[in-house]
Structure 1
Amino acid sequence: MSNNWPEGVARRVLPEIDSTNAEAARIAPGLSGPCWILALRQTQGRGRRGRDWRDPAGNFAATYVSRPGGPPEQVAQRSFVAALALRDALVTVTARPEGFALKWPNDVLLNGGKLAGILLESVGQGAQVSHLAVGIGVNLLHAPAAEDGALRPVSLLSETGMSVTPEEFLDVLAPAFAHWEGQLVTYGFAPVRQAWMNGAARLGERIIARTVLDSHEGTFEGIDATGALMLRTAQGRRTIPAADVFF
């Protein structure tokens, strides 16, 4: 474990698990504080909207589980915390700030390809979230096959020639996550929002945002004070809280 490991945060490294987010849900009731769960192999990884997340050995699959305070919309802003932490960790291990970009709502890109994804899952009743699982997958060594209409997947190894183990990457990611979590808790969403937009992919360019029911094309103007996508369309500005974005 790194000397920079955040104080009060537990760490579990498992040789194999079905899903780190599923394990987070199982152990959350018994946790006394936040915990990172790292799986060296994940057999049933999943992404947003139930999509499969392929996770060959050597790639990064981990979940940060905690008991955050605040309403669900504020809790959900941890996806931006995770994205910023991922970007900072990747820059640290590669010493190459160029090439990394943040794609709304939950991806990290390298040289225009999808390198990492984030999945938030909550457990709670009513308006309160009792536990939050922030699942993170990074293609450290292997990139899955491309899917029609989606960004090409890339790996850190293929794009930079650098080989990083999951344990090494977690040692860098955990302090970065603690930093941005501290910014959110101490100062609110404003500094997180600004930092995220500073690294946003295709800001000021035309994109397509597809919800379950509709598809909207327009200029990506950033994210609002809640984290929703702001899109300037021919019909005026639209604020979209949840969608898939295509370039």
Structure 2
Amino acid sequence: MSASWPKGYGLKVLDVVDSTLDEAARMAPQLAGPVWILAKEQTAARGRRGRVWVQPNGNFAATLVMRMTERPDVAALRSFVAALALFDAVAEVTGRAQGLALKWPNDVLLNGGKLAGILLESAGTGQNPGHLSIGIGVNLAEAPGASEVEAGAVRPVSLLSETGTSISPEDFLPHLAAAYATRDLQFTTYGFAPIRAAWLDRAARLGETITAKTGAQITTGRFETVDTQGNLVLVTPEGRKAIAAAEVYF
């Protein structure tokens, strides 16, 4: 299960930190290049919309931080790059892609359960080009209990329980970093089109009826595609709707 570290990417490993995303923000002003930050323990981890992210011992928590050299809408498409890299890394360490799927906008599923989540944060003002942080959590060893996730959410699963594969965060990171570097090179060279096509090939519930919730607005329709801006496209009784941000329920 060896993987070589990608050229041009830095690495910082911490025993304990409040959050790898917070550490990324602190490091951002001095960045010379992209850096992976791995934490063995987080005391204030967070998920989407400020939710608490539960990290049992042995699970993976890391953030990739980089200078943002593109428009924010283009940089945001790296959530799809990261999702594909996670898919690739898990398939490599387990020796199989069977049971893996990608859930819009930023989850990786294994055997129908949530294995991993991705959270993007960006910052920048005035003449400061800003930075992009890609936070990634993977249930390598243990899945949070049902009481620790919101009602209606996809059940959490772990890599160990679903595949029997035991791997430490320190050993998993080189696989993910190498996979990300490969996918990111594809993105910067050829644009979003090949990333979008590869993501759709691995999309969960494509062609099926799903529900997207944004605040108080709920939209149910057939999952037709993800468009060239990364929006979820649903076919509803009122017509096609492109949704930029939402929580998706099956």
Please state which band the TM-score falls in when normalised by the shorter chain: over 0.9
| Aligned partner (choices 188, 191, 194) of residue 188 of structure 1 | 191
Match of 1:58 in 2: 58
Match of 1:211 in 2: 214
CA RMSD of aligned residues (A): 1.3
Change (3 A) 1:46 1:189: same
Match of 1:15 in 2: 15
CA distance in 2, matches of 1:83, 1:127: 31
Match of 2:36 in 1: 36
TM-score, length-normalised on structure 2?
A: 0.96
Question: Is 1:227 matched up with 2:230?
Answer: yes
How many residues in Structure 1 have an aligned counterpart in Structure 2?
246
Runs (4+) off by over 4 Å: 126-129
TM-score, length-normalised on structure 1?
A: 0.97
| Aligned partner (choices 195, 200, 203) of residue 200 of structure 1 | 203
Match of 1:172 in 2: 175
Identity of aligned residues (%): 60
Change (3 A) 1:226 1:105: same
CA distance in 2, matches of 1:69, 1:225: 20
| Aligned partner (choices 135, 147, 152) of residue 149 of structure 1 | 152
Change (3 A) 1:83 1:127: farther
Change (3 A) 1:244 1:71: same
- Which deviations, in whole Å up to 9, do the C-alpha atoms of 1:89-142 show, x marking residues without a partner? 000000011000000001000000000000000011269851000000000001
Query: In the alignment, is the contact (CA less than 8 A) between 1:47 and 1:119 conserved in 2?
Result: yes
- Which deviations, in whole Å up to 9, do the C-alpha atoms of 1:210-244 show, x marking residues without a partner? 01131000000110001000000010000000000
What pairs up with 1:86-97 in 2 under 5 angstroms? 86-97=86-97
2:184 partner letter: E
Unpaired runs of at least 5, structure 2 = none
CA distance in 1, matches of 2:246, 2:78: 17
Query: In the alignment, is the contact (CA less than 8 A) between 1:123 and 1:131 conserved in 2?
Result: yes
2:194 partner letter: P
SS at match of 1:218: strand
CA distance in 1, matches of 2:129, 2:153: 32
